[in-house]
Every structure is written in structure tokens, then in C-alpha cells.
Structure 1
């Protein structure tokens, strides 16, 4: 549930193969990053959002727009890192900084494809209460076995728009 519009703008996803230190096995490392705008999107000329200074509840699980699709049975040793940071606090109608409120520690989890396609994708979970429009930058790192990847997710261009993905070989 969220009482504010959410707009996700993905940065280009980074996919690399890394060697696990202790076993020397190859693992897929995927870094997802972007911005979640809660409330209004910022104006392109100033970077500021509107002064909608109202209290809103945030409890949303947001599919990352560029998520890969994974085989749930091959994710028994998956590892995550997730971080989020506040980008902007909108000014109030009186041109003063508004109260932010609070967002709890972000979490990620796998969820089934919304249209019923095979595999699970990554969801970012944001929760808390906010008083303003704001932007949250996010970074999610997933480390798993290569065979866990079913399909490559769509890629983001320089503007955060998401292109159709290619099938994994």
C-alpha cells in the first residue's frame, strides 16, 4: 500500500562473473541501481518536486524494472546487499524545507512474475511514513550461481527508460 505515486528510474544494470574466494567457483553478480521517486517526479529544469506537503504511508514492494528472472530452485545460496539513500526533500508551499518523516531499512526479496511467466524477479520493499515528495536512490546487489538465471531482464538506457531484454543463452 502506498498513498503516493512511485516512479522507478533504473540506471544501467551491471552483470559480472566473479570468483568466490573460498571455493573459487564462478558466480553471477548483478548490480541494480536507480531512483524511486515517491510523490511527484522532479521538474527537468530545476530538479525539484512540487510542494505537496502531506503525510503519506509507504508500504510498497516494487518490482525492479530491469530485474533478471531467476529459477527459484537454484537460489538456495543467493546473497543480497541493499542500500538506499535520500536524494531530495521538497520545499513546502511556503518555500521552506518540509519534514521528511521516516523510511525503514529497505529490503529485497524474490516474487513471481506478475503475468505468470516462469521465474522470480527482484522486488524492493520500502516502508515508513513521509511528509513530502522525495527521491530515494537504491542499489541492490545479487550474488548467485550462474544457472539460477532463467532470462535476462530488460536494460535501462541513460534516461532510466527500460528496453526489452534478451533471452539468456
Structure 2
């Protein structure tokens, strides 16, 4: 079954396309994104973007980790969001990033709400969860705006570039 597209009042969430690789690389080549995500390469090159699009569009991967390009209604790619599924537990882990020119305008909260709703309604998930570095309060607000509730803090749980970070945990139950 092909991955669906999700439309909101201002956004279209669709599978990434190889012709978006150049723009994806330009958006993703941002030290802020690399600093606030678990495994994002920096610099983020055209080759990284092409490999990511190919990997996420492979049918087996798309079934357990649906990845959506976040686009404005005019087709401009502005970020990426995914919901990595754990079918055995009927749960999904929400992850995302947004290009710098588009931050602070509510786009990510809108996309996250739509993906959480899709997880509960179309995928019959029981739980959607996520985490962010405690220093990334903008990401924490996105998760709360998407309906996920704070569930705690894993102190010094993630080592990134030799520094331990606290992880804020969020979750929502259907």
C-alpha cells in the first residue's frame, strides 16, 4: 500500500521525491539541525539527501518508518517529519526537523498534529511518543502543541559530540 499524503490548512505532507534532494540538502545543511537531532550528518550534502530519499522511499522501510516531506501548498519543501512504527506495540516515535527560514511560524506544530492524528486514526496506533534535548524548548513546544504530554526527563541520557544531554520524554495515548 503506497504511503498516503496528508493535507492540512497550510501544508501538504508527502513522501520525499528524488527531485527534492538539492533543496533538502540546502535546508538540512544547518548546524542547528545537526546539533538538535540524534544522527544528522553535518555538513549535510546532496549525497546525504539523495541516499536518505532513496532509503526512506524503499517500500519495506516506508511501511515501518513513513517519512513525509513537509511542503507549503505551493510545493515548497520546508522540512521533514516521520513516524517510526513499532507494530508489535502499536506505537510510533515522532521525529522531525524544519528548515531555518520556516521556523517559528507554527508549521511544525501543524505537521506534527496531522501525523499524530494519522497515526491514531489511519494506523490504529495506541501510542505516539517522542523525545527532545532539554535545551531545545522549541521542540518541546511542538510536541505539546501536537497533543503529546510531558512524561519525564531522562537525565544525561544521550551523548552527542562528547556532551551528555537530558532528554525530555513526551507521549500521547489514543
TM range (shorter): under 0.3
**TM superposition score normalised by structure 2:** 0.26
Q: What TM-score results when the alignment is normalised by the length of structure 1?
A: 0.27
Decide which structure has the larger Cα Rg and report it. Answer: 1
Higher helix share: 2
Tell me: higher relative CO, structure 1 or 2? Use CA pairs within 8 A at least 6 residues apart. Answer: 1
